[in-house]
Amino acid sequence: MPQQNHKRALQNPIFRILSEAADELGVDCYVIGGFVRDYFLQRGNPKDIDVVAVGSGIELAKKVTQKLSGNPKISIFKNFGTAMIKYGDMELEFVGARKESYDRNSRKPVVENGTLQEDQERRDFTINALALSLSSKNFGDLLDPFDGIGDLENKIIRTPLEPGITYSDDPLRMMRAIRFATQLDFIIELKSLQAITENKDRIQIVSKERIVDELHKIIASKKPSIGLSLLHKTGLLDYILPELTALEGIEEVEGQRHKDNFWHTLEVVDNISKTTDNLWLRWAALLHDIGKAPTKKFHKKIGWTFHAHEFVGSKMVFKLFKRLRLPLNDKMKYVQKLVLMSSRPIVLAEEFATDSAVRRLIFDAGDYVDDLMTLCEADITTKNTKKQKKYKNNFKIVREKIIEVEERDHVRNFQPPISGEEIMKTFNLRPSKEIGIIKAAIKEAILEGEIPNDHKDAKEFMLTKAKELGLNPISD
């Protein structure tokens, strides 16, 4: 293709400084990868800039640092032959042009110095192999040996070299291909898609942390089902989230069928992604039905059941998070809680939502009650417009009831108006089971609406309950 100049992509003064530094060292250098790709896609103003020098990337970084004002920090990674400069809101990463060779049992390459062409060949996709020259002699010239521009125009993910070799050498690229297809709404070239399917077992040599990093980007995208269905189609999902693929399929016994819970789940994730960017709420949507595979049973009288699937699913969340090395902290507990409670608002919406039922929902969900409602609203996937309208209206009523009850009864993050210490002092008790009985009775009375959530009424109730237990208050 004819050479094209794209100086307008390099209007930031930093690129002229890079050019001057390269000329002084007598090396050719290029900006390559995501910055160039996103420039042609008109995706905002990228702040991460990858610079390739045909020579020492570290020496170029040092020279650039000398030319920049404000003494920016330079980080040098000698083992990798790379350097990084943080300058304002930008991160510049420098590396020497290289060629790579791989051992079958590792995705860590043996690296040698190489030409720009060899460096572009080692890139994962043609759209990430685009390079703009920073040398003064041809500043802004585009070097595109694999027609990455054509692939951007045609919305195609394609590898510079034979895809089977590319994916076998570094299996993380299979996840990256699917992630880019999801984020950009591109199509993976058929030959490439077949190569991912053929090399799917190679994903096992990739660390869980790197896999999860790509998975998070898929889940955080505008329409996660694109990537999740590609992971499923290629067989990668069986290695990463077998709890999900176990949900696929529809069984029929005596003319009774159940819905395909795998494809339903993907629809729920897409639904929730329209209303929230909360990554862990999206995870909850992804995992909300995983307990249905191990709890599925057919009963002649009532058909298919998934009894206690929410409880089973919440237990599975821990094992899944541990296996994938996801954080075993409040984020996991948040997902567990939402999975455990995922059917509670649905039951309320189908029946008349009593004050006591709403109080218990708020009490059990605490600060997560709004997110729980968002999850349940996303769970509406019926194609029957009348049913859809009815369910959405029912959830609207429940939301209004939650606001009304919460404003009146202050149940969220409930703190009992009577403490254990006050019970002990009132009846001159040592720690005993009676204290727990009285506290539990006060809580139940408040949640059932028998007494208001205040100290005066709770104290009167305490005295009555204590009398039933044969306890009398000591005189002041």
The reported pLDDT for the residue numbered 476 is 54
Confidence check: pLDDT of 171 > 90: yes
pTM summary value: 0.86
The reported pLDDT for the residue numbered 3 is 58
Residues 88-136 pLDDT 10s: 888 999 999 987 666 666 656 556 788 899 889 889 999 999 999 999 9
Section 290-315 average pLDDT: 85
Confidence check: pLDDT of 406 > 80: yes
Confidence check: pLDDT of 2 > 60: no
Section 323-349 average pLDDT: 91
Which domains, ranges and CATH numbers included, belong to the chain? Answer: 7-147 (3.30.460.10), 420-468 (no CATH)
The 3 state secondary structure assigned to the chain is CCCCECHHHHCCHHHHHHHHHHHHHCCCEEEECHHHHHHHHCCCCCCEEEEEECCCHHHHHHHHHHHCCCCCCEEEECCCCEEEEEECCEEEEEEECEEEECCCCCCCCEEEECCHHHHHHCCCCHHHCCEEECCHHHCCEEECCCCHHHHHHHCEECCCCCHHHHHHHCCHHHHHHHHHHHHHCCEECHHHHHHHHHCHHHHHHCCHHHHHHHHHHHHCCCCCHHHHHHHHHHCHHHHHCHHHHCCCCCCEECCEECCCHHHHHHHHHHHHHCCCCCHHHHHHHHHCCCCHHHHCEEECCCEEECCCHHHHHHHHHHHHHHHHCCCCCHHHHHHHHHHHCCCHHHHHHHCCCCHHHHHHHHHHHHHHHHHHHHHHHHCCCCCCHHHHHHHHHHHHHHHHHHHHHHHHHCCCCCCCCCCHHHHHHHHCCCCCHHHHHHHHHHHHHHHCCCCCCCHHHHHHHHHHHHHHCCCCCCCC
Confidence check: pLDDT of 13 > 70: yes
Confidence check: pLDDT of 1 > 50: no
Lowest pLDDT segment from 110-124, 146-160, 176-190:
110-124
The reported pLDDT for the residue numbered 305 is 72
Higher pLDDT, 251 or 264: 264
